[in-house]
Amino acid sequence: MSEPSDAAVLIERAADHVALVTINRPAARNAVNGAVASGLEAAIDRTEADPDIWAVILTGAGNQAFCAGADLKEISAGRGAGLRTERGGFAGFVHAPRTKPWIAAVNGPALAGGCEIVLTCELVVAAEGAVFGLPEVKRGLMAIAGGLYRLPRVLPRPLALEAILTGEPISAEHAHQFGMVNRLVPASQVVHEARSLAARITANAPLAVRGSLSVAKQALDLSDAELKELSLQAMVPVAASEDYKEGPRAFIEKRAPRWTGR
């Protein structure tokens, strides 16, 4: 699972059951162009189709930015439509259906569409000194790739609205204080910490993780009655799996479980 080193999006195996996806345009601050959009969509397809991948880490190449958002040179050249895909939306990512947890390893500024990519991920590890922002209003635009409704879900509403309406950035330290960021570490440790977090996820039964994630992601959108039914439905394939038997068996035998994802 690897790409040519000059590909706009790199995909490689980071650890057992973990893939590392890298936006690889450091000279352009990892801004999204058509190649990034198609590459991220392909990364989702490949990791979703691979039964041996249970979690994915997403980062940016270099040390200048996680992602600066849309490549304005592409837009000014009339190629703005290529920055999205039919299934995935902006960057081929922000609206793409996914069942596996993605961890954003934010090694630098995540601005505009870059921030929206982060908000699409389930967990966030950020470098000290990184910033998040939706500066679209400063350019007469709107953050319509998910930022306008996802940011108020992960920050207190007044803080999210201030960021949206002023376009001013939020420090990683502030984002961590209010729960938008799971882990705050030195820049050199971002991917390492993301791998550690991924290892804690992949130590668990993958089908149970995916089923739990499918319900939890809708917790703010559905009623308790709907979520109860959704939980019961999600449990059906889990209860029919080999791992459902392996968990209690390992506990009784006082050993680590050997998950198969089946």
pLDDT digits (tens, 9 = 90+) for 139-187: 999 999 999 999 999 999 999 999 999 999 999 999 999 999 999 999 9
Per-residue pLDDT tens over the stretch 187-204: 999 999 999 999 999 999
Going by pLDDT thresholds of 50, 70 and 90, the confidence category of residue 2 is: low
Per-residue pLDDT tens over the stretch 236-252: 999 999 999 989 999 99
Q: Give 32's DSSP letter.
A: B
Q: How many helices (H) and strands (E) does the chain have?
A: 10, 11
Average pLDDT, the chain: 95
| Catalytic residue ranges | 116, 136
CB 54 within 8 A of CB 19: no
Q: Is the pLDDT of residue 75 over 90?
A: no
What is the spatial distance between Cα 160 and Cα 179, in angstroms, rounded to a whole number?
12
β 170-171/131-133 pair status:
antiparallel
* pTM score, whole prediction: 0.95
